[in-house]
Amino acid sequence: MSFRHISVLAALLFLLAWSWEGEAHARRPLVMIINSYSLNYSWVRSHNEGLTYVLGADVDLSIHYLDTKRLAPEEYQGNVDRAWAAVQEDRPDVVVLTDDNAIRLLGRRVMDAGIPVVFLGVSENPRVYLDDMKLATGVLERPLFKRSILYFKDILGPTLQRALILFDTSNTSQTIMNSIFKGKRSHMLANTAVEVLLLETFEEWQQAILTVENTGNNIVFAGLYHNLKDANGQHVPSETVIRWTSAHSPVPVFGFWDFSVGKGKAVGGLVNSGRTQGEDAARLVQQILTGTEPKELYPITAENGIFLFSFHELDRWGLVLPYDFHPMTDPVYFVE
């Protein structure tokens, strides 16, 4: 065989290998993750970690952030438009929408484009946003308010007579107020009087904390606090809120989400985990990518939660967890 023939053959083999590589890359699914909030939030980072841990080796990921907590609607609309433009241009195989705002703003449009939707962190009934569920499934978030009160009754004993639950006035908080608490501020749970407040400003939040003992409350639950404004209408960072709350509350502070727990923050709680929801959503994505229709996958309810406590905050408040305060099959996790 002549050198010329060898050169031509080598060129053909190179082109064939390049073609095979291109086809292999083209077959790699594209999953787009559109987050309601910013990467600054530990909740977002944790569920992104869960998604990438399960999916990262098998798909191409495209991640977008709407930043609807810190920005006003007229400001975050540009982020919504850019995310929608990316969906139209890239035609992902599946779109993951995290938390209520993303599914509210983009869910129906993505489905109408014929693209399957997987959601997570959604407090509202997803049919409110999507109408039908033929191309959608996901992970429903159900904060564990009633069970939390029961468990903390075991921890604090008969001294727990009254509890205060604080939220901001975000869409998610209002959804929880209406769907879980039926729009009512006052409740009796496990012989404990529970008051639920939705607050718009950090000043209102601070006042509620500083006067909590005067109203007879034994503990505070810091619900959602990522949408509070200062006196000038500017967004107050969530870390500022929870750390101020921990430092100034005259009674122990507990939480319902994992991001609120830690040294200088909430003592602990039966919490929803962002990483767990991300992993659950990722497994639904995998099933869709292997041919299962979304309508055949019933949404998962994140209802079990995990027990998460801070060593530092337990010690600071002189709290000791009874060895039998929870079902023995449930592990307890600790952070500093």
pLDDT digits over 160-169, tens only?
Answer: 999 999 999 9
106 and 158 fall within a common domain: no
**Overall pTM > 0.95:** no
Beta-strand relationship, 162-167 and 192-198: parallel
Bridge partners for 11 per DSSP: none
Q: pLDDT tens across 174-217, in order?
A: 989 998 888 999 999 888 999 999 999 999 999 999 999 998 99
186 and 171 fall within a common domain: yes
Report how far residue 19's alpha carbon sits from residue 149's, in angstroms, rounded to the nearest whole number: 61
Q: Which residues contact 76 (CB under 8 A, 6 or more apart)?
A: 66, 67, 68
Cβ atoms of 186 and 209 closer than 8 Å: no
| Nearest CA among 298, 303, 272, 273 for reference residue 283 | 298
Structural domain harbouring 251: 145-271+305-335
Sign of CA dihedral 289, 293, 294, 297: negative
| Nearest CA among 118, 125, 117 for reference residue 141 | 125
pLDDT bucket at 293, cuts 50 / 70 / 90: very high
| Nearest CA among 189, 185, 180 for reference residue 141 | 180
Report how far residue 319's alpha carbon sits from residue 336's, in angstroms, rounded to the nearest whole number: 15
182 and 118 fall within a common domain: no
Bridge partners for 332 per DSSP: 307
Residue 202 in domain: yes
Which comes out higher in pLDDT, residue 146 or 103? 103
pLDDT at 303: 58
Q: Which two tokens stand for residue 276?
A: 């767990």
pLDDT at 26: 55
The total number of structural domains that make up the chain: 2
Residue 74 in domain: yes
Report how far residue 289's alpha carbon sits from residue 286's, in angstroms, rounded to the nearest whole number: 5
Report how far residue 103's alpha carbon sits from residue 124's, in angstroms, rounded to the nearest whole number: 10
Report how far residue 56's alpha carbon sits from residue 282's, in angstroms, rounded to the nearest whole number: 10
pLDDT at 23 over 60: no
221 and 75 fall within a common domain: no
Beta-strand relationship, 117-122 and 60-65: unpaired
pLDDT at 159: 84
Residue 9 in domain: no
107 and 202 fall within a common domain: no
Rg (CA), the chain: 24
